[in-house]
Chains A and B, each alone.
Chain A
């Protein structure tokens, strides 16, 4: 699996904040763990990640995301010959019936451009997801630590995470 290390970090972050895990339901969709990583003090962008499960019988589509930033787009990372390119999904992101689509580092993300202040751990901000069938829902994106001290101690935790991600 690609992006093993960050997947491991994300898993650890998820575990650490399990007590505060927050899910949302809109129509047949379940939105789980909407979050962003903390950013540098002078960061101009951030990325939003979450998990969308379609429990229905028909495909849905994430058409756009809206938040109080100068520009917000749903992006996919496309890798061709080791060149990374971010692409705006202008036709939206399909959420197939009965499946879960995860926006995670190295794959899909919601790109938030023109930050006027950095993302600080513990902060949260509202973001509205617009779906073709399920409609709109506002979720609170929670800002989480990127380099937790516990993850520096990469003994058993990292091992478990790598096994789990293979």
Chain B
């Protein structure tokens, strides 16, 4: 793929500047967050109403995003990007999971997160839960969220918009900002998979 070739140059340049010793993913690293800092156990409710843990969700390299479906702009933008990256990776022979964890469990029911994620990729799973379950998951990933004061059902929620690449048994690998393209997400994810 043409675009992957261009990206590879940037990735190698970034990794060379970091000189990470003994790191099997050194050539892939784009971010400098410590591996142990992000991710951890969570218990949530999946889009079919079943209680699941992180081990049930991260059964393959997984793109994890925190957002809310009432958000009409950035959340579908990022989630569409992640769905597209999953598609690109499938074309390249890599099956990765996608997870959308709501930060608005009050409005995002099981049905709503299922319908939302179905728009973007058939295998992307929507996750909701109790306020406590969401808080624990968000804290594990250091994801920020805070509802704006409104007093009615049309409240908005400020939230961090990172997508985290999590690897089974290894944990956190990489994060992607909202502005990253689907090609960039796919390319870096493929790099980690190739070095697993």
List A residues at the B interface (Cβ < 8 Å).
Answer: 2-6, 8-9, 37-47, 70-71, 75, 77, 79, 82-86, 105-106, 109, 111-114, 146-147, 151-152, 154-155, 158-159, 162
A82 touches B162 (CB 8 A): yes
A109 touches B72 (CB 8 A): yes
B112 touches A42 (CB 8 A): yes
In the complex the two chains form, what is the Cα distance from A147 to B80 in whole Å? Answer: 7
B73 touches A77 (CB 8 A): yes
B107 touches A86 (CB 8 A): no
**Contact flag A84-B183 (CB < 8 Å), given A41-B115, A146-B119, A147-B84:** no
CB distance from A26 to the nearest CB of B (A): 25
B144 touches A83 (CB 8 A): yes
Contacts of B111 in A (CB 8 A): 42
A159 touches B178 (CB 8 A): no
B69 at the interface (CB under 8 A from A): yes
Contacts of A75 in B (CB 8 A): 73
B3 at the interface (CB under 8 A from A): yes
B119 touches A147 (CB 8 A): yes
CB distance from A121 to the nearest CB of B (A): 11
Identify the stretch in B9-17, B34-42, B48-56, B152-160 within 8 Å (CB) of chain A at 4 or more residues: B152-160
Contacts of B118 in A (CB 8 A): 40
Looking at A40, A45, A46, A152, which has the most chain B CB atoms within 10 Å of its CB?
A: A40
The contact sample of 7 A-B pairs, CB cut-off 8 A, is A43-B116, A45-B71, A105-B74, A106-B74, A114-B154, A158-B3, A159-B3
Query: Is the interface on chain B under 10, 10 to 19, 20 to 34, or 35 or more residues?
Result: 35 or more
CB distance from A143 to the nearest CB of B (A): 13
B73 touches A5 (CB 8 A): no
Contacts of A6 in B (CB 8 A): 77, 80-81
Selected contact of A154 from candidates B84, B148, B178, B179, CB within 8 Å: B84
B181 touches A42 (CB 8 A): no
For the A-B complex, the count of residue pairs with Cβ-Cβ distances under 8 Å equals 121
Closest A residue to B185 by beta carbon equals A5
Contacts of B73 in A (CB 8 A): 47, 75, 77, 86, 105-106, 109, 111
B83 touches A147 (CB 8 A): yes
Looking at B107, B154, B160, which has the most chain A CB atoms within 10 Å of its CB?
A: B154
B116 touches A154 (CB 8 A): no
A84 touches B69 (CB 8 A): no
CB distance from A81 to the nearest CB of B (A): 8
Contacts of B160 in A (CB 8 A): 82-84
In the complex the two chains form, what is the Cα distance from A7 to B88 in whole Å? Answer: 18
**Contact flag A154-B183 (CB < 8 Å), given A6-B81, A41-B115:** yes
**Contact flag A86-B71 (CB < 8 Å), given A6-B81, A113-B154, A151-B84:** yes
Given contacts A44-B69, A113-B154, 13 further A-B contacts (CB under 8 A): A2-B178, A3-B178, A4-B179, A4-B181, A40-B118, A41-B115, A44-B112, A45-B69, A45-B70, A77-B74, A84-B158, A85-B156, A146-B80
In the complex the two chains form, what is the Cα distance from A42 to B70 in whole Å? Answer: 10
Closest A residue to B2 by beta carbon equals A159
In the complex the two chains form, what is the Cα distance from A114 to B116 in whole Å? Answer: 16
Within 56-87 of B, Cβ neighbours of A (below 8 Å) are at: 69-74, 76-77, 80-81, 83-84, 87
A83 touches B158 (CB 8 A): yes
B191 at the interface (CB under 8 A from A): no
B123 at the interface (CB under 8 A from A): no
